[in-house]
Amino acid sequence: MARASMGRFAEPALWILVALGRGPAAAATLLVTVRRLDGPVGPATLIGALARLERSELIERSTADRPPMYRLATYSPEASS
């Protein structure tokens, strides 16, 4: 798994992971949920955190859905060997 620094996106990234623990969600739904959990978060901050989480392989984005849905990545011990 790639390990990228979350930088200033660390706190929103944590809340995104918490929100996705409840199930897949679109970015707009995640924005509402993260704001409820963490306070004011802008759309650009949310998208930046989603991009870093995706690059770190912690979340996955479904391109088949419109709008795209995000979900927690599936961990496979065989893949990390």
**Kind plus residue range of the DSSP H or E element containing 59:** strand 59-62
pLDDT digits (tens, 9 = 90+) for 30-44: 999 999 998 889 999
- The full set of domain ranges for the chain reads 7-72
Integer angstrom CA distances of residue 63 from 4, 21, 26, 74, 77: 22, 20, 11, 16, 25
CATH 1.10.10.10 fits 7-72, yes or no: yes
pLDDT digits (tens, 9 = 90+) for 6-61: 777 788 999 999 999 999 999 999 999 999 998 889 999 999 999 999 999 999 99
Overall residue count recorded for the chain in this entry? 81
pLDDT grade for 77, boundaries at 50, 70 and 90 = confident
